[in-house]
Structures are given as structure tokens and as C-alpha cells.
Amino acid sequence: MSSLTKYLLEEKFYKTVVEDGSDIIFIVDYNANIAYHNPSVKKTIGYESLTGKYFFDYIHPKQLKKFKRAFKESTNLPYNSNIEFEFLCQNGSYKYLEFNSINLKHKDNIEALILDCRDISGRKQDQQELIEAQKAKEQFLANMSHEIRTPVNGIAGMVDLLSNTMQSKEQGKYLNAIKHSADNLKVIINDILDYSVIESGKVALEKIGFDIDYQVESVINSLELQATEKNLTINYQPATKNKMVLLGDPVRLSQILINLVNNAIKFTNQGGITIKLSFQKQNKKMAMVNFEVHDTGIGISAQKIEHIFETFKQADESITRKYGGTGLGLAITKQLVELQGGSIRVESKVNQGTSFFFSIPYAIGTESDLIHKSHEVNTGPKKKNKKSFAGLRVLLVEDNDINRLYASTILKKWGCICDEAVNGEIALEMLRKKNYNIVLMDVHMPVMDGLEATQMIRKSFTSPKNEVPIIAFTANAIKGEKEDYLDIGMNDYISKPFIPDELYNVIQKYYTPVASKASASVTDTPQANLEHLKTISDGNMEFVNEIITAFLEQTPPLLAGMQQACDQKDWVKTGDLAHKIKPNLSLLGITKLIPLVQSLETDGRSQQHTDTLAERVTTFIQGCQAAMESLKKEVNQ
Ligand code: ADP
């Protein structure tokens, strides 16, 4: 008899496995009373004996309900496995264990379970560390996204504002150079950040109605100049002549097209680019849209083409030196296509050209799904339809100097009275002292961030201050964050970089015109009487309209200045501004306001009757607003 056979016959291995093994083995009856356990209990969880104890007493209370369910389930099965739980150790701490069970009912008709438990605390800790590392990475991304995008957007925004006030040709040239560099930097940074955000699975895809031809044409328009400069043509062949409304994410589609067409222009020196669309209806609701981007450029060699969609890979290092780029564009493009359920491939012949083919499935929409009529997309509200925000009190909370300057310059142009705070704590202080109609709140700020400040406003202020609309103002583009902002009490969200129209639209949503509120209190709406103007212009309506337009443009900032002076109790300045506005009121025949403006001028400059000045300023501003509204109608007619 071999020694192994002898060993088996003597059943010594039972002892090795059960008595000496590292697994804890419990035998527990169906009522969870512990009938037996092996010595490993002492080593792993510290107890001398648990025999006769109630198993459920040792389970972490947080998991008890779930554990009881799993235990019950195990009594109905011959075997069960991988049930995780936390068990109370002798020293008071909890340890992660996992059991596999054998049901003795099925073997020996005994109502008890053998629980073979394994210590999994190491694995749990690894998992926890992984989750924390992932969280840290996301936080880092969010911060980077803010820290990098913010100053770059600030530079780009300020350059735009500066070019409106531009002086000489030479300055223009320098400004263009800054703009060009800032734009380049923006592309590179956005590439890197986009890539990391996509990697972390946090891209939020929209599902909104859009006109596909409009979208493609906008991309072509934005790149046409670049193509013309290289003497290249861009030719577009739509799928149908009919308007095609799809439901999906038009911004991400544009991003894909911009990457591909941009590359096509970059790597083509003669000939042109052709963009072609075709459309396969899959059923009533879905269509596969096939896009093709062909160029007649330098092409990509067979061995390089395999790696073209990989991160940081460029076909040739000398190409990088010559054409620039991060080597991320196509990797992002591929990820974006795949995220939308599509696929992408490339064909190319060196010195003949390259063709990219991608397809994305979209739900089919109708015209009513379009948020804007296609010709209005991106153009924002037309100037003459814009309401004035004169007198609107805005609290702008933003820590970045340039961004604050950018936003406040725009707000002041619209006639808002804009106060500024550099962090949440200062914002709360200001809100304690004054009422505001709207708060624009950056999210990431030192001392106190926008989220905390919002919570404080909602919780610790009283009405009406705690109801002020708060718009989150942030550079983050991470999925789920918007919901978080709304959950903690913000009303809306605008992501930087914003163009003025976006800011305008979001403010307009929460803006109740001062004039319409006022119409209840100003019983006698001061109307303009244009007879005087018509007489002096000999009935020239063009001239009349020009004067009205100038008045509509110049008055809001003057009123805003007056309100601000009044808030600061600078009565002399209030009077001076009244003096400035007065002749315009006469010219436009807004005679009902003349005695009031006169009193503001006199009392302000002489600092008399100042106790009622603030109230009179409010009435005056409301009166002007009402008059301006009626003048606007006049111009539109
Ligand atoms: P980059 O930002 O460097 O342009 P991409 O990922 O967009 O990075 O492109 C990677 C490389 O693929 C480019 O550097 C270029 O070598 C090659 N490539 C991309 N598109 C074309 C094209 N239309 N024609 C020729 N080469 C191309």
C-alpha cells in the first residue's frame, strides 16, 4: 500500500483541510446557531469559541438584511457561493469574509449549512483603493479642466473684447497673433482634456433634434477660410434634397467632422475635400447615417495607417514637425464615433489621398424636435429683439480676474448693475447687504466654493434673498455635474467658454423685466411723443429711427450707472447722470419724466432731500424702461 493510499484511507486530509486550513469553517443550523467551527476562527477573527452563539449577531448591522436573505437562499440550495459579508472580530473591528455553503439537508437530511469562509479583506482594500484612485483621477480631471480652460478662455475672450476697441493696424496685427495662439492652445488643451474625459467614461451625450445638413454646412463654413487660403475646394454632397432632422448630439458630430476636415485640409496641398452623406433607414424610427470625408492630399502609408487611430500616434514624426498637432485628434474622433454607437475606418493611397468613412445610428426626428429653426442655430437672439437688462442687479462670483472682467464687461454693456465677488464667502457678505436679481456663481473657488455658497444662500438666508436665481458658471464638462448643481439648489448652468449670447439666453430665462413689474406701480406709463423729432427731421423716418436706436443703446448704461451711483449714495454723480439723460428725454418727447429727472438732477447735485432720492431713482428707471419698450415697438414697425 502506497503512503498516499494509506493517507487517503485514514482520512487524514480531513484534518489537514478542516482543522489546520486557513479557511474558517462554520457549521450553522438553519436558525443561524453555530454548532461547530474550526480553530482558524482564533487566528482570523480572534475568538476562542463561538459555538452556541447566534451567527447573525456578528454580521455588520448595515448588511444584516441582505445577509439574512442570502443565508435563507443558501438553505434552499445544495450549494451557494461568493456571499460577501463583514464579520465582527473579537477586537471590535469588522473583517470582510466571503462564504461558500454546502447544505447538509441535501446530503444527510440535516437542517444545517457548512460555511466555508475566506478572508477577503485584502481584495476589498484593493478594490477600495482602486475606487479612490479613480475618484482622485476624476477630481484631478475636473480641476485641470477648470484650471487650464479658465485662463485660456479668459485670454481668448479678452482678445475679442479688445479687438472691438482696437486702435491701430499694428495693434490689430499683434492682437490677431495672440488670438491665433490662444485658439491653437485651446484646441490642444481641449484635445487633451476631451481625451481624458472620454477615457473616464464621463462624456454626456445629448439627444436633441438637429438638421444634419445645417450641421455639416456649419462645419464647412468654419473651415472654409482655411481651405481657401490653401486654394482648396470643399464640396458637399448631401444625402437627400429634403430636410433631415435627426435626434442625437450635434456638438459631438461637429467635433468629429471638424477633426476630419481639418486634417484633410492640413494634409492636402492641391485639389480639394469632398464630404458625402448617405442614409439607410433601418426601421421607422432609426437611420444609419454614413459620412465620407475624401481628400486629395499626401495620403498615409500602409504600415502607418494601422496605427492611425491610436493615441499620440502620428503617421510620421517629420509630419508632426511640419504640420503640428497632438496625435490625439483621430483617437478622440474614433472614441466619439463609437460612443454614439458608430464605427469608423480609413482608406488611403500615398500621394493620392485619404478617405475616412464613419457611420452613426440616429433616431429620426421631425421638424418640431428642432430647438431652433435651422437657420437660426448659433446665431442667438437677434439684436433688435434683445430685451434690455437695464437695472438688473447681478452678483458675479468668479475668482479669475480675466474671466470676471470679461463677464462684467458684457453684463455692463447690457445695462446690468454688476457687483463682483472673488469667492463664495465674499458673495454671501454682499448678498447680506443687498438684494440681487441674479447670481452668476463660479463653482471652483478658493476660501468658499460655489456649491457651498449656494447651499448657504438657500439654507441660511430669508426670502427673497434665499430665492435669488443662481446660475452655475463653470469650466467643467463632466457628466452628472449639472444634475449635482441643480440638486444643491442652483437654477441653471452655463459652461465656460461662453459666448455673450449664451449668457444672454440664460439670464433672460430668469429675468422678469423691471419695466413690467413697474407698470403696476407707475400708473401713468410715460409714452414717447415723436412729433417733435418728426418735425425737426422733416418727416425723415430713417433719421427718427436712428435717433431712437441711439437712445435705446445709450440709455441702459446711463441708467445702470445711475443705479450704481445711487446704491453707493453718490448723489452728485446721480444728479450728473440725470443731467446727461434729460435732453434725450426732451428730444424723444418723453415729457412725463422730465419733472422727475429734473428733481433728480437738482437734488442730487445739491445733495438735498436725499432720503427719497433712491425711491425716485427707482421710479425714474422704471419709467425709462417702459418708454424704451414702447420705442422699441416703434422701431420694429
Ligand atoms: P494630429 O493632431 O497630430 O493631427 P490626428 O490623430 O488627427 O493627430 O492624426 C494623426 C496623424 O494621422 C497625423 O499626424 C497625420 O500623420 C495622419 N493623418 C490624419 N489625417 C490625415 C489625412 N487626411 N491625410 C494624411 N494624413 C493624415
Pick the residue with more confidence: 319 or 391?
Answer: 391
Q: What pLDDT score was predicted for residue 215?
A: 85
Show me where the domains of the chain are located. Answer: 18-119, 208-376, 516-636
* Mean pLDDT to the nearest integer, 299-321: 73
In the predicted model, what is the mean pLDDT of the chain?
A: 83
Residue whose CA lies nearest to ligand 1 atom number 21: 263
> With bands split at pLDDT 50, 70 and 90, how would you rate the model's confidence at 312?
low
Residue whose CA lies nearest to ligand 1 atom number 17: 315
Atom number, ligand 1, closest to the C-alpha of residue 191: 2
Range with top average pLDDT, 8-17, 53-62, 532-541: 53-62
Q: How far, in Å, CA of 200 to CA of 145, rounded?
A: 13
Q: How far, in Å, CA of 160 to CA of 309, rounded?
A: 35
Residue whose CA lies nearest to ligand 1 atom number 16: 315
Model confidence, pTM: 0.46
The β-bridge relationship of strands 112-119 and 79-88 is: unpaired
Q: Which CATH class is domain 208-376?
A: alpha beta
Residue-wise pLDDT tens digits, 54-80:
999 999 999 999 999 999 999 999 999
Q: How far, in Å, CA of 260 to CA of 240, rounded?
A: 22
| Omega within 30 of 0 (cis) for the link into 556 | no
CATH architecture group of domain 516-636: Up-down Bundle (1.20)
Residue with cell 420694429: 636
Q: Measured in angstroms, how far is the CA atom of residue 199 from the centroid of ligand 1?
A: 20
Residue-wise pLDDT tens digits, 221-275:
778 878 888 999 999 999 987 788 899 988 788 889 988 999 999 999 999 999 9
Q: Measured in angstroms, how far is the CA atom of residue 269 from the centroid of ligand 1?
A: 14
Q: What pLDDT score was predicted for residue 525?
A: 60
Residue-wise pLDDT tens digits, 352-368:
999 999 999 999 988 87
Q: Measured in angstroms, how far is the CA atom of residue 215 from the centroid of ligand 1?
A: 23
Q: How far, in Å, CA of 525 to CA of 523, rounded?
A: 6
Residue 555 grid cell? 440709455
Among the residue ranges 131-145, 275-289, 484-498, the one predicted with the least confidence is 131-145
* Mean pLDDT to the nearest integer, 599-609: 87
Q: Measured in angstroms, how far is the CA atom of residue 328 from the centroid of ligand 1?
A: 9
The pLDDT of residue 495 is above 80: no
Atom number, ligand 1, closest to the C-alpha of residue 298: 25
> Which CATH entry fits the domain spanning 18-119: 3.90.1010.10, 3.30.460.80, 3.30.450.20, 3.40.190.10?
3.30.450.20
226, 232, 263, best to mutate for ligand 1 pocket (most atoms within 8 Å of CB): 263
The pLDDT of residue 401 is above 80: no
Atom number, ligand 1, closest to the C-alpha of residue 353: 24
Q: How far, in Å, CA of 167 to CA of 444, rounded?
A: 36
Pick the residue with more confidence: 412 or 425?
Answer: 425
Residue whose CA lies nearest to ligand 1 atom number 2: 325
Neighbours of 262 (CB within 10 A): 19
- Of residues 325, 324, 332, 327, the one with CA closest to residue 312: 327
Give the phi and the psi of residue 277 in degrees, each rounded to 5. -120, 140
The pLDDT of residue 392 is above 50: yes
Residue whose CA lies nearest to ligand 1 atom number 14: 314
The pLDDT of residue 539 is above 90: no
Residue whose CA lies nearest to ligand 1 atom number 13: 314
Q: What pLDDT score was predicted for residue 132?
A: 83
Q: What pLDDT score was predicted for residue 431?
A: 92
Among the residue ranges 381-390, 497-506, 568-577, 582-591, the one predicted with the least confidence is 381-390
Residue-wise pLDDT tens digits, 28-57:
999 999 999 999 999 999 999 999 999 999
Q: What pLDDT score was predicted for residue 316?
A: 57
190, 330, 333, best to mutate for ligand 1 pocket (most atoms within 8 Å of CB): 330
**Helical ranges in 461-530 per DSSP H:** 481-487, 500-509, 514-521
514, 560 contact by CB (below 8 A): no
Burial of 502 (0-12, 13-18, 19+ CB in 10 A): middle
- Of residues 499, 243, 494, 219, the one with CA closest to residue 380: 499
336, 198 contact by CB (below 8 A): yes
Please list every protein residue whose CB sits less than 6 Å from any atom of ligand 1.
Answer: 259, 263-264, 267, 295, 297-300, 308, 314-316, 319, 325-331, 354
The pLDDT of residue 377 is above 50: no
Q: Measured in angstroms, how far is the CA atom of residue 216 from the centroid of ligand 1?
A: 20
Q: Measured in angstroms, how far is the CA atom of residue 490 from the centroid of ligand 1?
A: 42
Q: Measured in angstroms, how far is the CA atom of residue 179 from the centroid of ligand 1?
A: 24
Residue-wise pLDDT tens digits, 496-516:
767 777 888 888 888 765 443
Longest dimension (CA), the chain: 130
Intrachain domains 18-119 and 208-376 with the same fold? no
Pick the residue with more confidence: 243 or 117?
Answer: 117
Q: What pLDDT score was predicted for residue 313?
A: 55
Q: What pLDDT score was predicted for residue 318?
A: 59
Q: Measured in angstroms, how far is the CA atom of residue 217 from the centroid of ligand 1?
A: 22
The pLDDT of residue 522 is above 70: no
> With bands split at pLDDT 50, 70 and 90, how would you rate the model's confidence at 192?
confident
> With bands split at pLDDT 50, 70 and 90, how would you rate the model's confidence at 583?
confident
